Structure 1
Amino acid sequence: MTSSARLTEIVADWIVDQQQRPLPEAMDHHVRRLLLDHLAGVVASAPREVSTAVGGHARRMYPGNAATAVGHGRMSVLGAALVNGTNGHGIETDEGYTPGSMHPTSVILPAVFAVAQERGISGSRVLTAAAIGMELACRIAAAGHPATRNRHFHNTPVAGVFGAAAAVSVLYGLDARTTANALGIAGSHASGLFEFLGQSAEVKRFHPGKAARDGIASVDLAAAGLTGPTTILEGKDGYFAAYAGTEGADWDPRIVTTGLGADWVLSNTYVKPYPCCRHLHGAIDAALELRATHRFDAAAIDSVRVGTFAIATKHAGRELDTVLQAQLSLPFTVAVALQRGAVTLTDFDAATRGDADVRALMDTVVVELDAAADAAYPRTGRPADVTITLRDGARYHCRIEQPRGEPSNPLSDAELEAKAQGLVEPVIGADGAKELIAAAWDFDSADVLDVLDSAVRVSLSRQ
């Protein structure tokens, strides 16, 4: 017997048992923080081109009136989950879990919202289901990372689909055996490749929506009687064998099970202060700190060296044809931070991407592997080491072990509210932003999606 024996069944048993218990007070508050962050990202993404494309597809392929796709009205459960999941990841503002390099909210919350709307399920039950699904997604992602990423898989959808299936199993009230079957079916839906990196392939934003949709489908199929392999996680041809490799060397089942039900790893999710890939945030923090401390003129910079962990070094692209390419570029975001003293959503527009001063500064940025940073990631930190040399020979250095927003370096509730307001006020106005913030803290029903959908569509009609 290996340490992974019965892993899927153990997880299914936990899902059924955990839903009978109230969330700890601290976890309930944390889930509401994640809910606020997620809803702000969904609203801010709704008017954008990717949302328009996916929303049009969903209206054609998933017509109905069961659930709400923010900015696109009512459609089927699967369609709403697909659109809202895409929007949740649409502007790179969604939270994440560093040990698993994944974003649980953009997969799990759209899935539970859509099912809850169809079935009229209360807010407290939705939050419990969401917490269970996000906890499992984080643990599965962490158990195989970075082996899964090194095999070119995007952890958010490939691990997230299991979390969506777990959460929706709670809302369906499935027993342990049927839940295990739903997880088994979800394993056949696990997908998402990193080939989008460095290209203008917006399919990255679609990945969480697809996983949310497929998690719901997995549960509905299991409830209808379709069976899936109840060894999907640990089996010799199962998820970890295919996506990570050899047990012990490439993945660790103990990360899935140790403390399950007692220690919520979900509490260690971060919130992003900048709307770009999380792997870039440590370097941005360092650049901003150096700029604020030493008050040099960006035009005086001769060179910028960024040392970081291996996966982050893959984000050194310099093509800026699209917003996504800029949001995945270390040289660009560091240059923006040094040039402007901030990195906001508007800094990824076409004007900034083409700005001559930003481009010139970006050309001075060199991204290198830092062995100590690579050894730390992902278990103990997400480090970045930045050295700036001015034309007069002055050198300034800053090392960030954990970027802003991690649990060890958190955003306060007030700062999170300010982030949300900044994202949604341009879309639904100041009153709409206040309503969204209040609805997240006082969440009692997924009907808030109808309110937000109406506000977004009124805004779009005026443009």
Structure 2
Amino acid sequence: MPPGSILDSAVTNGHPASNGTNGTNGANGTTSTENIPVTSILVDFVANASTDYLTSPIRDRLKEYILDYIGVSLAASQSSDSTQPILTAIKTLGGTTGGSSTVLGLGKSFTPQYAGLLNAALGHSLDFDDTYAKGTLHAGVTAIAAGLTQAEILGSSIDMDRFLLAVAIGYEITCRLGKELGNEAYARGFHNTSTAGIFGAVATIAVLKNLPATTLANAWGLAGSKAAGSMQYLANGAWNKRLHPGFAVHDAFVCVALAEAGVLGAKDILEGPMGFLHAYSPKSDKDLAYLTSELGQRWEFLETSLKPFPACRMTHGFIEYATTLGRDRGVGADGVKRITLSLSPANVSVVGARIANKIHPENMVDAQFSAYYTTAHSFLYGSDAAVRAYEEDRLGDKEIYELSNKIVCVGDAGIKHFGSRIEVEYSDGKVETLDIPYPLGEPQRPFTRDRVESKFFGLVTPVLGEKRATAIRDAVEDIESHTVTKLLEMLY
């Protein structure tokens, strides 16, 4: 059944269908929040989720996402510059007092909400985690982190199918909400990964605990007042971004506990006139019918891509193809007159603003969110050196500095999601242009399983050694034969 065709029916998941064609008011294109009870539809979906949803394609993708998450998180536990300061603060706050929850790479001594915070923050600290293009967000880092912590608390009462289901539902809720927030939410200053992610994290916890719909509705109602994540981190490469999914998972545990204790949460938190979708994004064409249709049949989260490079996804096309236009041809900065990078106008504001810390970043976060720097680095050193890009010598590299000055970023409304275009005008007068509608890793250009495993071993072997890395890979591949507790014992 094609997306939206459910509107031909009289009901949607047991609720009256919208009177509109796409969940909007035809007169002015604004969202019609009165017609579709989004919150109750999604609550029913989560509360009644069935392991029958776990088809082979869903299982296979979840295994890839989980393997990737583990690899990125373990690497960040040892290599990210923000890990130790965050860990110190959590210990000061009592996050290891009487705790027995596991944090990847850091041990089994944390209270659940702080384990969730750390696991989500670690998964996002290298900006190497999976990405959902339609929502411009990272869904796995909240769904998997919340799922691991909650499943560990419940222990042997949770079988692996229930865990996989919970993670899938968390992904799906975050992705569907993120799609309707869109890139427009960034213009309002919100980071979709955390604002939508808290709802996905609550959903994951709810599935594992088999919470009734009323409790989940209250937890989401409370989560609407905890959803946060400011894009102001772009001003100075702040570590706020790394903490955003951590805050979301931490607060998801708080909201669930409050709801289970009987605390009343806001009604209609998603679609209400002062609710989440209205408050967090100015997007004028939110499609509430698409948001709530074909639940359990059309899985948006399966379009989530895995990252080949540890940088903002918006820069990946440039990183990949600058290599072929520069290093592979033996061309340096002096061989270039000008490079023009085209991307969507919304993405220009995130990675292409012509400001000092974008053109010449001095720290890792600024560099990861600079189309200038990541393109110049790849042009000179190649995409296979992307992990090295943020070391001190590269950040201070004079040739990267020179080439970055020759780069211009422009917005093109015809470019969608993470698509891009690169044009190089060489010093000898030759010009070459490459259109990159989909960066490597999108469904249209899949990140194949061998690449997934290569990335995983590249991240984990330096931390745990090849033997342990292989054992983890094998355990995830045969995850149904393990418990979450046993899996976590391999990860610290």
Counterpart code for 2:178? A
Q: Secondary structure of 1:274's match?
A: coil
Matches within 5 A, 1:28-427: 28-47=59-78, 48-61=80-93, 62=95, 63-73=97-107, 74-120=109-155, 121-245=158-282, 249-291=284-326, 296-314=331-349, 315-316=351-352, 317-342=358-383, 343-373=385-415, 377-378=416-417, 382-427=418-463
Query: Do 2:53 and 2:296's aligned partners in 1 also have CA atoms closer than 8 Å?
Result: no
CA distance in 1, matches of 2:49, 2:324: 43
Query: Do 1:286 and 1:385's aligned partners in 2 also have CA atoms closer than 8 Å?
Result: no
Query: Do 1:79 and 1:213's aligned partners in 2 also have CA atoms closer than 8 Å?
Result: yes
Indicate how the Cα distance of structure 1 residues 372 and 182 shifts in structure 2: closer, same or farther if over 3 A, else same: same
Instruction: Single out whichever of 403-412 and 356-365 deviates more from structure 2.
Output: 356-365
- Unmatched runs of 5 consecutive residues or more in structure 2: 1-17, 19-31, 353-357
The equivalent of 1:461 in structure 2 is none
Query: Do 2:119 and 2:246's aligned partners in 1 also have CA atoms closer than 8 Å?
Result: yes
CA distance in 2, matches of 1:41, 1:254: 35
Query: Do 1:67 and 1:117's aligned partners in 2 also have CA atoms closer than 8 Å?
Result: yes
CA distance in 1, matches of 2:360, 2:404: 11
Q: Secondary structure of 1:94's match?
A: coil
CA distance in 2, matches of 1:99, 1:33: 20
Query: Do 1:19 and 1:129's aligned partners in 2 also have CA atoms closer than 8 Å?
Result: no
CA distance in 2, matches of 1:370, 1:331: 17
TM-score (norm 1): 0.92
Indicate how the Cα distance of structure 1 residues 230 and 439 shifts in structure 2: closer, same or farther if over 3 A, else same: farther
Counterpart code for 1:352? R
The equivalent of 2:26 in structure 1 is none
CA distance in 2, matches of 1:350, 1:177: 52
- Unmatched runs of 5 consecutive residues or more in structure 1: 454-463
The equivalent of 1:446 in structure 2 is 484
User: Which deviations, in whole Å up to 9, do the C-alpha atoms of 1:60-91 show, x marking residues without a partner?
Assistant: 32223331112332211101001011000000
The equivalent of 1:430 in structure 2 is 466
Q: CA deviation at 1:298?
A: 4.9
Q: CA deviation at 1:301?
A: 1.6
CA distance in 1, matches of 2:388, 2:341: 24
Counterpart code for 1:60? T
The equivalent of 1:23 in structure 2 is 54
Counterpart code for 1:420? F
User: Which deviations, in whole Å up to 9, do the C-alpha atoms of 1:300-358 show, x marking residues without a partner?
Assistant: 12211111111221213124221111111101100111101224212211111111122
User: Which deviations, in whole Å up to 9, do the C-alpha atoms of 1:381-410 show, x marking residues without a partner?
Assistant: x22111111111111111100100001101
CA distance in 1, matches of 2:50, 2:252: 18
Q: Secondary structure of 1:307's match?
A: strand
Query: Do 1:143 and 1:255's aligned partners in 2 also have CA atoms closer than 8 Å?
Result: no
Q: CA deviation at 1:134?
A: 0.6
Q: CA deviation at 1:292?
A: 7.2
Indicate how the Cα distance of structure 1 residues 368 and 435 shifts in structure 2: closer, same or farther if over 3 A, else same: same
Q: CA deviation at 1:114?
A: 0.7
CA distance in 2, matches of 1:136, 1:110: 15
Instruction: Single out whichever of 4-13 and 288-297 deviates more from structure 2.
Output: 288-297
CA distance in 2, matches of 1:92, 1:20: 31
Of all paired residues, the percent bearing the same amino acid is 29
Q: How many residues were matched structurally?
A: 445
Counterpart code for 1:365? I
CA distance in 1, matches of 2:215, 2:304: 29
CA distance in 2, matches of 1:16, 1:289: 50
Query: Do 1:66 and 1:117's aligned partners in 2 also have CA atoms closer than 8 Å?
Result: no
Q: CA deviation at 1:122?
A: 2.5
CA distance in 2, matches of 1:90, 1:109: 15
Q: CA deviation at 1:284?
A: 1.9
Counterpart code for 2:221? G
The equivalent of 2:6 in structure 1 is none
Q: Secondary structure of 2:435's match?
A: strand
CA distance in 1, matches of 2:187, 2:285: 10
The equivalent of 2:24 in structure 1 is none
The equivalent of 1:8 in structure 2 is 39
Query: Do 1:290 and 1:397's aligned partners in 2 also have CA atoms closer than 8 Å?
Result: no
Q: CA deviation at 1:293?
A: 7.2
CA distance in 2, matches of 1:22, 1:156: 24
CA distance in 2, matches of 1:250, 1:201: 32
Instruction: Single out whichever of 249-258 and 399-408 deviates more from structure 2.
Output: 249-258
CA distance in 2, matches of 1:152, 1:362: 26
Instruction: Single out whichever of 335-344 and 430-439 deviates more from structure 2.
Output: 430-439
